[in-house]
A and B are shown apart, each in its own frame.
Chain A
């Protein structure tokens, strides 16, 4: 067994896989993000007539039977099917197959905000209309926030330190932060990230009940973070999983590529409503930069949380101006193309950030046009911006006070 990495030796990202409304593989996703191709359309999984919000970022053309063994189909919610598929692909991208590393040197950390809504909705319908003896035994875990970690761990015999995190829409970044910690404590490899989906009638009702979903009917105008017309967000489904690995271990086993260093992470919690104390986002940013041993001017781009509600947008803009200075850093929000994927949103942004490091280009924020000057934001609009990108900061916030910030850096040559 290898000794734990020295603290200054950052874990690296050796594999990534996205499953999103704008691409089921990394290159399609990245092309769509750079081209500004939106995955937001009218929600068509059920009849949404009468619902106040009817737009969603939906994954199309995903046939679970193509990707997963038959035994897993009766026991998995759609979100777990996405997670298992992304896990396979992330491990393949990292060149990890059975036997590459010992079982106990590989962990799994996933975040989940919504659970297995669609599966549970179906089983509840059986419960009420047919009786308890008709409810699938698999409901016992298919609904559960930890199910993605568990199913991935079983499928790939990854028995090392593992976890499931729930921090609403901040959880996916926290999972990557936990992966970084786990690797620094001596586990060689951790598969981490998040995936969510809840586009069945019950899941949809629960999302609408949160009160932040946009009711604007025009897909091009519904989710406009940092715009004067911001009026909520459009829910999406999907996310990303990444392979986080001890740098020396990755070199030793001949990992096919190092996508990036996972250079820093921090999570904070907001004070209770009504408190005089400031929100926790600025502190999360500062702590993540400190963890990455990076001064503010070492950050080349920020992938914003981009809540799409004026008060939250202003709070994020203020935090960025406070840390980086007015218009001090390019900021973008490609999640305007996918909708907010809950625990999947942060990891998908990390995937985009890693690709921005690779290609030296920052994708644009779709839709947003009219940014209040007092936000003091250098928001990348209209077209991707080519610039030297060596270090990126990714932010995510979750309802009820979660803040998470993560720094990725281009791999050392």
Chain B
């Protein structure tokens, strides 16, 4: 199965939780904390729910509550997908 990539995450984040003017999601954000990108825990819950629906996987709310960066979230999703990390 195809890996869940940073571009996939960008698309779903913006669709679920919106994008602030001036927030640059397009650069190298793999290790930028979600907080610095303007996304709080609810935004990540919403994003995770969408990922679960689109990719047919389950991820635990506890894991989502603890994830701090896009790299961390990609890891969780890709583990669930059984694919190589992006």
Cβ of A133 under 8 Å from chain B: yes
Residues of B within 8 A of A (CB): 14, 16-21, 23, 38-39, 42-43, 45-46, 49, 52-53
Q: How far is the CB of B64 from chain A (nearest CB, A)?
A: 11
Main secondary structure of the interface of B (DSSP, over half): helix
Residue of A whose beta carbon sits closest to that of B37? A71
Residue of A whose beta carbon sits closest to that of B19? A70
Select one of A71, A136, A138 contacting B19, CB under 8 A.
A71
In the assembled complex, 20 residue pairs joining A and B whose CB atoms fall closer than 8 Å, in A order, are A69-B20, A70-B14, A70-B19, A70-B20, A71-B19, A71-B23, A71-B38, A72-B18, A74-B17, A74-B18, A75-B18, A133-B49, A133-B52, A133-B53, A134-B53, A136-B46, A137-B42, A137-B49, A138-B42, A140-B42
Asked if residues A71 and B52 are in contact (CB atoms below 8 Å), the reply is no
Residue of A whose beta carbon sits closest to that of B39? A71
Q: How far is the CB of A303 from chain B (nearest CB, A)?
A: 38
Q: What residues of chain A lie closer than 8 Å to B17, measured between beta carbons?
A: 71, 74-75
Q: What residues of chain B lie closer than 8 Å to A69, measured between beta carbons?
A: 18, 20-21
A70 to B14 Cα, complex, angstroms: 9
Q: What residues of chain A lie closer than 8 Å to B52, measured between beta carbons?
A: 133
A140 to B38 Cα, complex, angstroms: 19
Q: How far is the CB of B21 from chain A (nearest CB, A)?
A: 6
B-contact 0/1 string along A64-91, CB 8 Å cutoff: 0000011111110000000000000000
Asked if residues B42 and A70 are in contact (CB atoms below 8 Å), the reply is no
A73 to B21 Cα, complex, angstroms: 12
B-contact 0/1 string along A327-359, CB 8 Å cutoff: 000000000000000000000000000000000
Residues 114-148 of A at the B interface (beta carbon under 8 Å) = 133-134, 136-138, 140
Residue of B whose beta carbon sits closest to that of A132? B49
Q: What residues of chain B lie closer than 8 Å to A74, measured between beta carbons?
A: 16-18, 46
Asked if residues A73 and B45 are in contact (CB atoms below 8 Å), the reply is no
A116 to B49 Cα, complex, angstroms: 22
A70 to B16 Cα, complex, angstroms: 11
Q: How far is the CB of B14 from chain A (nearest CB, A)?
A: 8
Q: What residues of chain A lie closer than 8 Å to B20, measured between beta carbons?
A: 69-71
Q: How far is the CB of A90 from chain B (nearest CB, A)?
A: 22
Decide: A70 near B53, CB < 8 A? Known: A137-B42, A137-B46: no
B-contact 0/1 string along A35-79, CB 8 Å cutoff: 000000000000000000000000000000000011111110000
A133 to B21 Cα, complex, angstroms: 29
A136 to B53 Cα, complex, angstroms: 13
Q: How far is the CB of A349 from chain B (nearest CB, A)?
A: 34
Select one of B14, B23, B39, B45 contacting A137, CB under 8 A.
B45
Q: What residues of chain A lie closer than 8 Å to B43, measured between beta carbons?
A: 71
Q: What residues of chain B lie closer than 8 Å to A137, measured between beta carbons?
A: 42, 45-46, 49
Q: What residues of chain A lie closer than 8 Å to B23, measured between beta carbons?
A: 71
Q: What residues of chain B lie closer than 8 Å to A73, measured between beta carbons?
A: 18
Q: What residues of chain B lie closer than 8 Å to A138, measured between beta carbons?
A: 42, 46
Q: What residues of chain B lie closer than 8 Å to A75, measured between beta carbons?
A: 17-18, 42
A72 to B19 Cα, complex, angstroms: 9
A71 to B34 Cα, complex, angstroms: 13
Seed contacts A71-B38, A133-B52, A137-B45; 16 additional CB < 8 Å A-B pairs = A70-B14, A70-B18, A70-B19, A70-B21, A71-B17, A71-B18, A71-B19, A71-B20, A71-B43, A74-B18, A74-B46, A75-B17, A134-B53, A137-B46, A137-B49, A138-B42
Q: What residues of chain B lie closer than 8 Å to A71, measured between beta carbons?
A: 17-20, 23, 38-39, 43
Q: How far is the CB of A404 from chain B (nearest CB, A)?
A: 34
A136 to B50 Cα, complex, angstroms: 9
Q: What residues of chain B lie closer than 8 Å to A140, measured between beta carbons?
A: 42
Closest 3 CB pairs of A and B: A70-B18, A71-B18, A70-B19
Residue of A whose beta carbon sits closest to that of B43? A71
A372 to B44 Cα, complex, angstroms: 61
Which of A70, A134, A140 is the most central at the interface, judged by chain B CB atoms within 10 Å of its CB?
A: A70
Which of B18, B20, B49, B53 is the most central at the interface, judged by chain A CB atoms within 10 Å of its CB?
A: B18
A134 to B20 Cα, complex, angstroms: 24
